[in-house]
Structure 1
């Protein structure tokens, strides 16, 4: 089914999502699965259908390269693999990325937040998007990977280039080529570091990945480099969106802000609700391995699918009153990190950064007010580009 109902153009950045969510609500009721000629893909809008797609990897493949122009960024890219290759590689990669390994890093994240805020301490107003939401995950990823100041600038240039890229058609060859060109410098930089860590390991993630072993298998250099870049893009840009949206949401909902201030045990709940309310990545892609019926529509094999996380996270069938920002929402089966075997490997780190950052902000500022906000006009990320806040300091 090809929908004849066109979505509003970039509505989120015009009216904070009112027209977008009204349209998505209509489509969930009447055309929950449809072919989008603009994006050259099948769109999936309901929560239950999204969970089915994410859970059934044998039908809905992560190997999207066969329906896209040739790409180099494949080996080591967990987001492009299916079992058994996915299981084996994830087992190796996760050795350097478990909650147990990252747990002690919480105190370092807190120090980084304090260091960043100290630099704006003389201002009564600052841009939280640029000064904290952008800087913190970039610094965290840099320290985890073990890159120096020079490498941090390379990471910054790669992230900045990704933020400028947007497309209506994710299968477009020019878009894919531009994206890979934007990654070229960081791929070359990390390849040199992987070679150096093989000879002289340090206490960082690249060293752990270089020397990780499972059933006699070790990661190749290309797998290590590509996973490190995936970690950069997923760990930096999505966490950037989460941090900015978290502050914006709490400012827009003062009752929730007051409750979190009064009871810090609500901080994790608040983070989960932000992930539901404004998922940093709006869509997730898959490819059909065979003909399949979904949402009453038959989708042929070898078709590109885009699951709308924005829509699934506001599906009335999964969430009572989804337009309400509710930090007490339980259960909250939000899909911001997707679901199933491909659930984001960096989800724990993103949640940790958001929780620590919010705790520090609440400790440091007894009050703040958002004085201006602009959003990235980008189809691939939902994040404030500018978020100025006026802060009150403790006497």
Structure 2
């Protein structure tokens, strides 16, 4: 194996947590870069698209732990993906929208009529948790342990303590296994997602508990953190772009495109992994088989060669180029739910709240590898109030 000199250190390169500017600089100066922490990082849109389009070369089987279906390659991935996609059908999204809207109305109503609020600590996390539990059709008594677990997970992630992260992951797995045991004892006719998964069949057999835990981990661990990050990014952007805020309030039909565009500019999801199954050349770099590849989503979505004036908010861009939810066979299956939740929340928020930057506090960026903000203070004013 060829010895490679480190091109950058992703954990120390970002002043004030500004990942975007660091990735922009890397894309322009060293678009295929090696680091001890991430292996080979791909910063350009075209290189990322190549990796996404060739799973036979860039494998998703990168984790020592079972990951269904994200950490699988075809044909195994195809069988599980077929099961997963049915949970995000148009009919299911239509059925969940009224519940999602009610949750949005309640969290918007909890905002002060006129004052400052950190939207991450209550508003964003609360909506993410409650809307995801509504999708899973879990009762209210499951909200509290999941909320406590999410807070522990955030703290472990911020500390970068692998032992703490492993302990939190084990706690979550045990919690889900207890849910599955409870569903078995009560019969499998319940209509929550855990019970449905217990009835699923793959290749003529039922899913194992380990497989179901993996699926539900993706739908909670990943989705809760990403949804919360998305909400913070959207609110911070609207607070600092009053013209866009007014435009979207006047015409909410623009929201789907606008949300995707804002989250292209400021990505909630920074990286994902692949591993090379054979030697490959990317740009001027020769990469051996078995090498870790890190896809830099935020950089690819700000690539000047793909997006003209990439930092500008524009609604005329080609949506097929936006990698917010990925591309190829591993495109995010939960994208329909995420888009529904964000659209409904923004509709309800803009209908009754004006958002402005905080006069006293600045947003604080989340710690890598998490995108968005750990704190996002803004000033809110309820329309029609003094």
TM-score (norm 2): 0.89
Map of 1:218-297 to 2, 5 A cutoff?
218-297=206-285
C-alpha RMSD of the superposition: 2.5
Task: Report if the CA contact (8 A) 2:11-2:368 is conserved.
Answer: no
Task: Report if the CA contact (8 A) 2:34-2:40 is conserved.
Answer: yes
| 1:309–1:135 distance in 2 versus 1, CA, 3 Å | same
SS at match of 1:106: helix
Aligned residues: 377
> What do residues 224-252 of structure 1 show as CA deviations (whole Å, max 9, x unaligned)?
12210111012111111111101111222
Equivalent position to 2:179, from 188, 193, 199? 193
Q: For structure 1, which segment, 42-51 or 109-118, has the greater mean C-alpha deviation from structure 2 after superposition?
A: 109-118
Partner residue, 1:368: 355
Q: For structure 1, which segment, 149-158 or 101-110, has the greater mean C-alpha deviation from structure 2 after superposition?
A: 149-158
Is 2:381 the counterpart of 1:392?
Answer: yes
| 1:6–1:137 distance in 2 versus 1, CA, 3 Å | closer
| 1:9–1:19 distance in 2 versus 1, CA, 3 Å | farther
SS at match of 1:125: strand
Q: Unaligned 5+ residue runs, structure 1?
A: 66-70
Q: Unaligned 5+ residue runs, structure 2?
A: none
Partner residue, 1:32: 31
| 1:312–1:124 distance in 2 versus 1, CA, 3 Å | same
The alpha carbon displacement at 1:104 in A equals: 1.8
SS at match of 2:368: coil
The alpha carbon displacement at 1:4 in A equals: 4.3
Task: Report if the CA contact (8 A) 1:93-1:209 is conserved.
Answer: no
SS at match of 1:182: helix
Is 2:125 the counterpart of 1:134?
Answer: yes
| 1:343–1:359 distance in 2 versus 1, CA, 3 Å | same
Q: Distance in 1 between matches of 2:103 and 2:336?
A: 18
Task: Report if the CA contact (8 A) 1:168-1:379 is conserved.
Answer: no
Task: Report if the CA contact (8 A) 1:92-1:219 is conserved.
Answer: no
Equivalent position to 2:14, from 11, 15, 22? 11
Task: Report if the CA contact (8 A) 2:112-2:381 is conserved.
Answer: no
Equivalent position to 1:58, from 56, 60, 69? 56
Q: Distance in 1 between matches of 2:380 and 2:21?
A: 32
SS at match of 1:104: helix
Task: Report if the CA contact (8 A) 2:79-2:203 is conserved.
Answer: no
Task: Report if the CA contact (8 A) 1:285-1:305 is conserved.
Answer: yes
SS at match of 1:64: coil
Q: Distance in 2 between matches of 1:18 and 1:307?
A: 14
The alpha carbon displacement at 1:64 in A equals: 0.8
Equivalent position to 2:73, from 61, 78, 82? 82
Equivalent position to 1:41, from 28, 39, 42? 39
Q: Distance in 2 between matches of 1:335 and 1:78?
A: 19
Partner residue, 1:68: none
Is 2:7 the counterpart of 1:20?
Answer: no
| 1:10–1:96 distance in 2 versus 1, CA, 3 Å | same
Partner residue, 1:93: 84
Partner residue, 1:144: 135
SS at match of 2:325: coil
Partner residue, 2:367: 378
Task: Report if the CA contact (8 A) 1:45-1:312 is conserved.
Answer: yes
